[in-house]
Structure 1
């Protein structure tokens, strides 16, 4: 017989769950929830259950977030009746992969357990509690907001950002609201739950670590086993990978066994842009008498290191795969929906494709979110996206005392055990900004000598990683300078977060930094018009409207949007101009920073922009909005994250053409640099050509010829850099507010196609940053390009998928910088 039989208790498995309110501030209009339960979906969350039942409106719409805040302060009881038939096995266990968060689990009137951690799974022996036929399982969740407040009062307040003391318990921090996310503190059975029955012995965990020994592949598979009391038969564990099978005999009662498999030759796994992503199937089988069990997964053979050894410039942060340094072009990743149980493999594929299509090679799973589902990491393995994985600590001090410490250790051990096999896993990171916070954010006085998380980041977590995943580098935090005696956010050492830009200073400040590696930086902009207006219904629409401000979470966010225009762009006059101007400024600010960072290569070894995605419709730093529409920022990232980048940058002796070649092939091309007029006709005022040759994974600087770099009238001239292979760059002598751009600088035409339509724009003068917004005509329409600059005589065709072709397009569907400043 098999060692394991499973009775799923999920809705997909036919289980009929209900949920009702049991305590807390339920509004009178919803008082029936105390006595009359509604149907619940498991896995799920109480918000999505109430929404599906028609009890509440969409929490994302209008100002509903505030009116529904009572849900997070209320306790909820999930209940199911299920039949169970004795199947001959000796042990029955209730397995809960995720309970959110402080829960009391009761089976047939007996309390089985009390839990307090969203980030771990649980297994409870219920052999003595199950009965034939009907069983009642009740899981009651304490209101998360009230629980966090109560714990903070009992244990003492540890410094934190945002409104609620999320650091008092082990729950997704951003679930309590963030400067880009809604305050929708959830409760529920958020991952699968089931009854498992087994006899004798079963596989508990499998941790296959794939590495390299020269050209050989070495797979070190660690298997933990659970044994039933009184079972005395020995077991055999066999591991098969790449056609090689290795087995070992395990004496009864052995808790863990290691099996080493060696493959004479393997294809190495590489991040995208550096090679292919071969993955090998791994199967683990267990035999003990008549008992059997199995586990399957995939691995990729590779080595990953991070070099932080001091050098002549300070201290680098160089991530290498298979001994080859990787220039990181990345983005920070937040939970892809505020209600994470709505995510699935298809949604992950769409959002990860946003990273791949933008030229990225790394995603950083940020510490205020969750350890993502296996789907996320599987897809990253398949497409070659490296994963920087934070442990779940963000922007706060954390107690190292019990009961929190034991929960931290349990969740970390589970997370490392589950994720260690993934080829894409590149870095374990202790926390987000907490070391920086302790040094600089005024925490020491309120802490008054209490622990704040240092013991986690410098002792507990690195020991767990060294024990369970020694092949993956560990970093204590981000930012961090890799020395206790250096400020953690020092540009000369390790990783840096740049947040004075956005919060305080103009984005031109990016060029004042020479960072070794930037793991966070960004700039805000609104979502697509259709996304914004689907949830904001202010009349008239205004940046400071009541509902607009519900969807702007940053402190003084709209003031910073306005101040951030500097002298780059004029202040808007209409809401349509506000939307276009701030989206454009966001894209320009981030591109400005990345082009500067790449021009510093090899001093700078990468950038991880904040952030790729949104978890609801909101004004934020994201490149892709909450409805999955790629903002102008995304198209700017696709350009500046290209394998080969041309950019013009200022240096002490004048502008230079910086070329960064992040490919394995030498980049050889002819480059024409021309100083041209912005007026109709775009007269060429000076022009020179030079040969460009950039070796593999390297960069060069070429001085801009004086004839081109010296304007006659800086307000009416610009520099166009054009390579024979199609790469382009531009240089302007003044900001757009002083640049004389022609208002009527192009013609356009629309042509219907089989899947949408084309819009062709032909320039008669310089047109800066052309953008087409088809979602303003049809929310389902998408465009393939954006932020296109054309010199006089050039043309570009935008291809739109979805939606019917309009007769013509103009403002506000077709925009450019020209129509803001001309």
Structure 2
């Protein structure tokens, strides 16, 4: 049987001397954590400041321009196996591996694993393993010099190294260029043969499950082998004749329970076991059918049975982009996913589970793994399988022209083959995408003139990658890019075809312009805001905090980001009077922008069959488009997203003739309700009212035009519209004017605070009763205790209405502070409102 021995203990790290290395570091060895990276090792021993705080990032640029050496020793007793391999699941990135002074291999790709036969280099007793990492910058810049520069969204050479692109900085991320042994490293001893690859291709046809298990073996001998696969009580066995290395086993499972995306059904999974034996399966007389040989290697995963198609058929609106699971069109309520930490080995399974829970609780059903990051981990995909979260996985190419010359063509092919095979068992993976925005960039960003006849990645996206997916996993669709229209004669970001990104809203125009689009599928759109106040206070030492204070400015990575935030505020909200005001109002504006976009796009169904908001998460404390900030705190956007992505949504939408009420139902049951629509004064007095009956089938929407006396206001600055569904609590507001122009009464309300100890700290309930209208009420309890979490935000109350906020915290909270600003805020809580 293949034996595996991890080599994660006893590592040290040292810098190779160079002029950029600080004086105290050359040749000094420090303890190293494996898996891990240079930055976290140096941070653990106090040799560098936390790069996430203030502008410390800038003082650490030398790390990415330095060569580093990891070293450990281990004892070895010769086990007389045929082979001993050093299996490196992930080295970041340009590495030379030596064992007892003998070079056993070199690497240049963070996105793949490597395996080296080291038997001849091992000695009985103590062995020394050393991994030297060359500067990623030096390697990438040398490749750029050799091959010629290519267009790039950022002045960094990330397109010239197969490494996580956002290590080199992004418009939401720091420039912290890592090196290290970032995935497990182990010795594997084996004889006769081992399982080199297992690819289960799962399909469902007329309620019958089919599992085609494709097996590749690596041999040390040419003897016959037997492979056995079993799932759901069904077993298959195949003999691999002497000298051959591949086998295909087919298992037919009658009427398996189907795996569904969350919201559409359950997520049952079945263990699939694959065992490799020596021998030819002729039996040894005991009737077990596995021949005379022993088990050599095993493989197990849990698989889900589901059918999958991507519907791109033409219709009167253009061409569709609809994910279809088990014959059911899925309306995607998605979020984009970036690496959850710049230092990816800090992203544990528990941390992923927390982030996934935040996604699920926001009614998300799809995560798009963005192309400037990684092929995500087994923990990531196992959790997605378990929770029913669909995954769109980009191949790691983003926002740049990528060279197709060697060594990159070979490396890209190798990583793609490895990763497509690795992820084939996961039912959550529903779409491979060739790149992020590179085809769009080639069309619209001036690349063609700059490139001339140099390669830019087209061969990857249109030839190499689709061929690998078709060969290794034909059960899943491939799409050349995000965005992509489906045809080369149509602009890649055409709203009427395929998937699109909408970025003119953030960069150039007001967020109400989302309503100008009638897209088939929106794979990116977003709006910025700062992180939670407690996150800022942990990360920044600015005194006083201001939107343009040094730390805040450094943690705003988007070009012109603050100016774009200000443009949004100017269009909608009263001018901030201080930093607390600015912080609250920018967060409100972010939430409103995304809610407006999501509600509009959902109201367009079945024309628009999906939205993927940019973005769920952050990798450090930063002003960004995220709903959950770099410390894991939910911004007001998260609460708005939960409401806008709810199974049942009531929304008021402008129409040519006035206003419509749209009831969207993405739940499994029909929704029949009475909707009362009232035109009100700011004081809550009704002016006009109507009640309509809506009957919305599952996964559909109903649109009701409003009569003229409701669709238009007599005094727009003094009136609003409220739509309420009877019995179920869904409600929607429509304001006829912008907040900056509305003569709101100064906020009047009463609060009652009750607190009690809980098993994990304290539970505090804050009941707010409105004496006036309260627009977008937020309780920022993290200002009192960084551990505090609130169950609701962005609540609009009319006079006489109440809401109770429930706060959990580690310690008791100041009851008086919970009832006033800057903790309790609404848009009209200022004296001059």
Q: TM-score, structure 2 length as denominator?
A: 0.96
Aligned partners of 1:385, 1:520: CA distance in 2, in Å? Answer: 18
User: Match of 1:160?
Assistant: 152
Find out whether 1:22 has 2:9 as its counterpart: no
Equivalent residue for 2:802?
795
Report the alpha carbon displacement of residue 66 of structure 1 after superposing the two structures with TM: 0.1
After TM superposition, the structure 1 = structure 2 runs for residues 124-203 of structure 1, keeping only pairs within 5 Å, are 124-203=116-195
Equivalence for 2:494: 490
CA drift of 1:23 comes to 4.0
Matches of 1:387 and 1:201, distance apart in 2 = 34
Instruction: Specify the alignment match of 1:658 in structure 2.
Output: 662
Determine helix, strand or coil for the equivalent of 2:263: coil
Residues 463-472 or 684-693, more deviating = 684-693
Which of 424, 436, 441 is equivalent to 2:428?
424
Counterpart in 2 of 1:684?
A: 686
**Residue matched to 2:296:** 292
Tell me if structure 1 keeps the 8 A contact 2:556–2:624.
yes
Aligned residue number for residue 390 of structure 2: 386
Whether the 8 Å CA contact 1:643–1:662 is kept in 2: the answer is yes
Q: 1:460 maps to what in 2?
A: 464
For 2:134 and 2:636, locate their aligned partners in 1 and report how far apart those are by CA, in whole Å.
42
Aligned residue in 1 for 2:813: 805
Corresponding residue SS for 2:571: coil
In the TM superposition, what are the counterparts of 1:614-629 in structure 2 within 5 Å?
Answer: 614-629=618-633
Say yes or no: does 1:402 pair with 2:410: no
Q: What is the distance in 1 between the residues matched to 2:668 and 2:55?
A: 52
Matching residue of 2:335: 331
Contact 1:25 1:70 in 2 (8 A): no
Match of 2:774 among 764, 767, 780: 767
* Residue equivalent to 2:290: none
Q: Does 1:748 align with 2:738?
A: no
Distance 1:621 1:125 in 2: 46
Q: 2:584 is paired with a residue of what secondary structure?
A: helix
Q: Distance in 2 between matches of 1:785 and 1:189?
A: 41
**2: CA distance, partners of 1:742 / 1:32:** 63
Q: Deviations over 1:16-75 (max 9, x none)?
A: 000101144444xx4332222100000000000000011111110111000111111111
Residues 483-541 of structure 1, C-alpha deviations (whole Å, 9 max, x = no match): 10111011111111000011111111111111111000000000000101211212221
Q: Which moved more, 1:143-152 or 1:361-370?
A: 143-152
CA distance in 2, matches of 1:343, 1:277: 24
Q: Which residue in the other structure is 2:711 paired with?
A: 709
Q: Per-residue deviation at 1:801?
A: 0.5
Residue-by-residue CA offset, 1:164-223 (whole Å, 9 max, x unaligned): 110001000001110000100000000000111111011111111221121111111111
1:585-604 aligned within 5 A = 585-604=589-608
Secondary structure of 1:105's aligned partner: strand
CA contact (8 A) 1:750 1:805 kept: no
Paired with 2:109 and 2:526, the residues of 1 have a C-alpha distance of 31
**SS of equivalent to 1:33:** coil
**Structure-1 residue corresponding to 2:355:** 351
Unaligned segments of structure 1, at least 5 residues = none
1:292 is displaced (CA, Å) by 2.3
Deviation at 1:600, TM superposition (A): 1.1
Q: Secondary structure at the match of 1:565?
A: helix
Contact 1:149 1:164 in 2 (8 A): no
Q: CA offset at residue 738 of structure 1? A: 1.3
| Equivalent residues of 2:55, 2:554 under 8 A apart | yes
| Other structure's SS at 1:41 match | coil
User: Do residues 89 (structure 1) and 81 (structure 2) align?
Assistant: yes
Runs of 4+ that moved beyond 4 A: none
Render the CA deviation track for 1:700-734: whole Å, top value 9, x for unaligned.
11112323223232111111111112110011110
Question: By how many angstroms is 1:345 displaced?
Answer: 0.8
1:503 is matched with 507
Map of 1:5 onto structure 2 = 3
2-side partners of 1:343 and 1:757: how far apart? Answer: 31
Given that 2:275 and 2:295 are in contact with CA atoms closer than 8 Å, whether structure 1 keeps it comes out as no
Distance (whole Å) between structure 1 residues aligned to residue 690 and residue 763 of structure 2: 41
Matched residues in 1 for 2:712 and 2:554: separation? 48
CA distance in structure 2 between the aligned counterparts of 1:78 and 1:527, rounded to whole angstroms: 36
Q: Hey, what's the Cα distance between the residues in 2 that align with 1:723 and 1:420?
A: 44
Alignment of 1:356-371 (within 5 A): 356-371=360-375
Gaps of 5+ in 2: 279-292
Distance 1:285 1:549 in 2: 57
Whether the 8 Å contact between 1:159 and 1:397 is mirrored in structure 2 is yes
SS of match in other structure, 1:655: strand
Return the alpha-carbon distance in structure 1 between the equivalents of residues 680 and 449 of structure 2: 59
Residue aligned with 1:330, SS: strand
Question: Structure 1: how far apart are the matches of 2:829 and 2:48?
Answer: 43
CA contact (8 A) 1:200 1:291 kept: no
3-state secondary structure, aligned to 1:31: coil
1:645 aligns with 2:637: no
In the alignment, structure 1 residue 256 sits paired with structure 2 residue 259:
no
- 2:286 maps to what in 1? none
CA distance in structure 2 between the partners assigned to 1:753 and 1:738 by the alignment: 42
Give yes or no for contact 1:23–1:76 (8 Å, CA) kept in 2.
no
| Equivalent pair of 2:83/2:117 in contact (CA under 8 Å) | yes
Cα distance in 2 between the residues matched to 1:366 and 1:148: 22
Distance (Å, rounded) in 1 between the aligned partners of 2:348 and 2:255: 35
Look up the match of 2:282. none
- What SS class does the counterpart of residue 829 from structure 2 fall into? helix
In 1: Cα distance, 2:645 partner to 2:384 partner: 18
Q: Distance in 2 between matches of 1:636 and 1:753?
A: 28
How far did residue 544 of structure 1 move? 1.4
Tell whether 2:117 aligns with 1:115.
no
Q: Distance in 1 between matches of 2:733 and 2:299?
A: 55
| Rounded Cα–Cα distance in structure 1 between residues aligned with 2:449 and 2:133 | 34
Measured against aligned partners, the alpha-carbon deviations of 1:283-317 in whole angstroms (never above 9, x if no partner) come to 11111034522111110000111111221111111
Deviations 1:638-683 (A, max 9, x none): 000001111001101100101111123221001111111212xx21
Question: 1:613 aligns to what?
Answer: 617
* Residue 824 of structure 2 corresponds to residue 814 of structure 1: yes
- Please give the secondary structure, in 2, of the residue aligned with 1:446: helix
Q: C-alpha displacement at 1:236, in angstroms?
A: 1.2
- Does structure 2 conserve the Cα–Cα contact (< 8 Å) formed by 1:234 and 1:250? yes
The 1-side partners of 2:455 and 2:143 are apart by 16
| Whole-Å separation in 1 of the counterparts to 2:733 and 2:318 | 32
1:33 to 8, 16, 25: 25
Match of 1:523 in 2: 527
1:414 to 412, 418, 431: 418
1:314-356 per-residue CA deviation (whole Å, 9 max, x = no partner) reads: 1111111011100100000000001001111101100111111
* Aligned-partner Cα distance in 2 for 1:40–1:499: 42
Could you tell me which residue of structure 2 aligns to residue 734 of structure 1? 737
How far apart, CA to CA, are the structure 1 residues paired with 2:77 and 2:527?
Answer: 58
Question: 1:161 & 1:24 partners in 2: Cα distance?
Answer: 30
Separation of aligned partners in 1, 2:95 and 2:243: 32
User: Which of 228, 235, 241 is the aligned partner of 2:225?
Assistant: 235
| Contact 1:24 1:73 survives alignment (8 Å) | no
- State whether residues 116 and 169 of structure 1, in contact with CA within 8 Å, keep that contact through their aligned partners in structure 2: yes
Rounded to whole Å, the distance in 1 between the matches of 2:210 and 2:451 is 47
1:211 and 1:23 map into 2 onto residues whose CA distance is 55
Q: Alignment partner of 2:392: what SS?
A: strand
